[in-house]
Amino acid sequence: MPRRARACFPRLTAAILWLTAGSLLPVHLIAEPPVQPGPAEAERPVVASPDPDTDSAQEAVAPAVKKLLAEPFLTEAERRELRLKHGIWTAADLDTPQARAYAAVIRGDYLDSALGDESVSPLVRAEAMIRRGELEEAIALIAGDESPRGRRLRVEALWSLGRYGDVRAEASKFLADDGWAGGGDADAIADGVRALAVLTRVRDQKELKAGDNAASFRSLMGLLARAREQADRMSWSARLGEARLLDEKDNLPEAGPALQQALMFNPSSAEGWALAGYFAVEQFNLEQAELVAQRLDAIAAGVDVSKVEAAALAPSYQGAIVRARARLRASDGPGAEQALGAVLAKYPRSRELLALQAAASAARFEENRTAELLKAFDSISPGSAEAYLEVGRVLSSERQYADAAGYLEEAARRAPAWADPFTELGLLEVQSGRDDRALAALEKAVALDPFNTRAGNSLKLVQELRTFSQIESDHFIVRYKPGVDEVLAEEMPALLEEMFRRVTGAEAGGIQYEPPGRTVIELMPDHHWFSVRITGMPRVHTIAASTGPVVAMETPKEGPGHLVGPYDWLRVVRHEFTHTVTLSRTRNRLPHWFTEAAAVYLEDAPREDSTCQLLARALETGTLFDLDDINTAFVRPKKQTDRSQAYAQGHWMYEYIVERWGPKAPLDLMDRYAAGERESAAMQSVLGLTREQFLEQFKEWGKGRLIAWGINPPEGTPNVRELLRQEAEAAKAAGTEPAESPTKELVGGWLAKYPEHPEVLKLAVAYELERTGGRADEAMVPLLERCAKARPVDSMPQKLLARYYLDREGGPDSAAAIPHLEFLDVREQHSASYAMELARCYAAVGDWTNAWAKALRATRVDPFNPAARELAASVALKRSDLPAAEHQVIALTKLEPDREIHRKRLEAIRAKKGS
């Protein structure tokens, strides 16, 4: 296969296998499934060993189908029928209008000319008409057809029309006449299950329990299992039905393998590939979603995906939907509308396309146009909830909580037995912190759909939150689980109020805006509950997050159930609260990178050396993100360092804006975003630059920062690579062997010539450490001091100097160690060790004010560490601050309730206070 074609489309088998990423295959799957992943492989896609050039459907189809087609007892007509059924037809197989129409529906080309031929089965034609939005016409065409497929098509057409009473009547026929369920036709069972799944949206749980239980989730899954295990072990429609049902329950780990098998039994199924695209979108794998959309375009066009350029294909119906959903996931409303445009012109009555068009308009914050589009949708499907649900979902993802709630409530009013609007509404209310409303919505959602994973997890969370205690201050409500967590919770309000003044004020980059109401800070007892709090699913790789009015954080503890252990919670919460403030000021309308940049800026902490090195590599290798890719890197990094680079680069660009245009410029940009301006227009207005110009000028500014950081030498001074090249040229001229790397002698010569060269100084320190065995001695101190000055972001000389002064023969020199420990402590986020050492050093020199400040910082970074509390208590006593000492010892009685010594110390302090 040509390399160019390979770049346009993923291998079919590999793309199918992607669906099983992070999950094990159910034991009931047949037809030689791929090898199951072992424990170490569970987080990456299952990998098989197909031919690397396998792209055609014929090559990718399940081995069981190939084996059956090779059986000698089959007639050619039977083989032809099998090829059509499994989506691996040849051109010769499509020799009748019926065959061409059937294939067109499978591959998602609903405008194929064969579908207009009246000799084609009305059921096939009706399927395409429903996709085109010709709903009444489809119902009329198959009126009187009481086959499972005929009934299912009428159910789906009536659903899209918003005629929910008629949906109930039509779908209930499957309950009254269940012959389809016990027969040997797997497609009939799949049709029946599909219709009954729609019935669950129009009948509440009480009705289902009172009537036939066939429409319950377990029963539906059982019917599909019977279809693929007894009726037809190679049925792709049954497996697709399983994937669809599991997806509706937000159960992707099981839905993925089911869809994998469906596509192996029919590699040409546009419905199957579209579902694969939706899975990719939900996981924010937007690159994979685009590849799936390209495949859908090729399948719809009826071309071999290995022999065509993606750009040469017209967008398909299903491909456009996948692209639109992907762009909406990336907050790209204009891009979503662009993806829909050409296909909407061909399918102007398609309800799915029209609903997405309204959602795309909402994502652009075009309120009047969104209302007009919804009105137009209502004119052809009065009473339908689908468009309102799509708009509500998108606005919720954009954190437009109040507007989103209105649309979701309208969807729920129109379809009161459909769980989806209540689930989305409940999840929205969880994020917005309105727990009573969240509880009501989620209880309704779970009553209607007890198998939905996100709804169930979120309901458990809201019920758990009702057991939490809370502490209120002027601007915050701190909520925590009763027990040991109150040790931290009681200390938070005073520090949070101080943080509030910094973030919302006008000092040094403050946002100059106060959000309405109190912000809720929720102290979640472990990582599991924190994850559920943020997303409804217990798999999130962070420790704190802001949803706007709520900031949730995992308790900074060591031990099982905690992601990172101790951390500087105040710095982390300051970052998240900055999100709360900026999102409120801008009505949640600002680029992802910009809100993260503002939050990092207001952490008020210097960059770590590793961050500076990361930025230097990106700048020097031309791999800084553009202003589109940086947003994607936060949520879907392509390589391990992408997310870290996105945070660091965003902060760097924000710093550049403040330095060049002043601290008001970011605020002016925020106000432009709040008014609905896109980034390009806002930058042009405030900064006078296009996005491209901004990025280029930022890069030039960044080169100067690398020099200031001591990563690169000053202009006109050669770097080490250039110095080594000069030495090699000199050696060649002298006829001697050039050195391949800097030797100690070379470094000594360079240092004599360039005594403040940052790279050479680092090399010189390395050679000195070889001499001393890795620890600084007195002779190294001047060199280390020079290195620290020339490399002001490098922690290496600071650590060596701090250790030297603390371990010096004759006793520690605390005063000399302090500035180096301060350098390290201000950058440390996960350990109290530097702060505790500083407290001891300040105590040693009699500076009890700073000793107390550092002891308190230690208890902030590691609040559940008894050693930090004991140190703070002893410093407080030395300062004669009995209330502070009492507070620390009370904390110790809660952290170590079985230690009698703490109770005795507390009694002694209280006795001294009372004397």
Q: What is the DSSP letter of 896?
A: S
* pLDDT band at residue 7 using 50, 70 and 90 as cut-offs: very low
Check residue 28 and give its pLDDT. Answer: 25
Helix residue ranges per DSSP H, 469-588: 486-489, 492-504, 527-535, 569-585
* Top-confidence residue, 239 or 20: 239
Which residues, in sequence order, are bridge partners of residue 478? 471, 521
Check residue 4 and give its pLDDT. Answer: 30
pTM above 0.85, yes or no: no
For the chain, give the mean pLDDT.
Answer: 89
Check residue 543 and give its pLDDT. Answer: 65
Overall average pLDDT of the 268-289 stretch:
93
Listed in order, strand segments (DSSP E) in 694-786 are none
Residue reference for tokens 């000069």 = 726
Which residues, in sequence order, are bridge partners of residue 72? none
The pair of structure tokens assigned to 447 is 């009553």
Q: Which of 126-135, 201-210, 445-454 has the lowest mean pLDDT?
A: 201-210
Overall average pLDDT of the 550-554 stretch:
90
Which residues, in sequence order, are bridge partners of residue 350? none
CA distance linking residue 888 with residue 865, whole number of Å = 11
How many other C-beta atoms can be found within 10 angstroms of the C-beta atom of residue 746? 17
Residue 657 has pLDDT above 90, yes or no: yes
* Top-confidence residue, 47 or 347: 347
Overall average pLDDT of the 8-30 stretch:
33
Check residue 561 and give its pLDDT. Answer: 81
Check residue 5 and give its pLDDT. Answer: 31
* Top-confidence residue, 35 or 66: 66
Task: Using DSSP, state whether 553 is helix, strand or coil.
Answer: strand
The pair of structure tokens assigned to 86 is 């499994």
| Tens digit of each residue's pLDDT (9 = 90 or more) over 413-437 | 999 999 999 999 999 998 888 889 9
* pLDDT band at residue 203 using 50, 70 and 90 as cut-offs: confident
Check residue 311 and give its pLDDT. Answer: 64
Strand 544-546 relative to strand 550-554, pairing: antiparallel
Q: How many CA atoms lie within 13 A of 358 on its CB side?
A: 26
Q: Among 715, 497, 535, 737, which residue's Cα sits nearest to residue 635?
A: 535
CA distance linking residue 477 with residue 521, whole number of Å = 6
* pLDDT band at residue 858 using 50, 70 and 90 as cut-offs: very high
Check residue 209 and give its pLDDT. Answer: 53
Tell me the percentage of the chain whose pLDDT exceeds 70.
91
Residue 838 has pLDDT above 50, yes or no: yes
Which residues, in sequence order, are bridge partners of residue 521? 478, 551
Q: Which residues neighbour 30 within 8 Å (Cβ) at sequence distance 6 or greater? A: 64, 233, 261
- 183-187, long-range: CB within 8 Å, 24+ apart, which pairs? 183/231, 184/230, 184/231, 184/232, 185/148, 185/231, 186/227, 186/228, 186/231, 186/232, 186/235, 186/237, 186/238, 187/148, 187/149, 187/232, 187/235, 187/237
DSSP 601-613: HTT--PPPHHHHH
Residue 184 has pLDDT above 90, yes or no: no
Q: Which of 532-546, 707-721, 733-747 has the lowest mean pLDDT?
A: 532-546
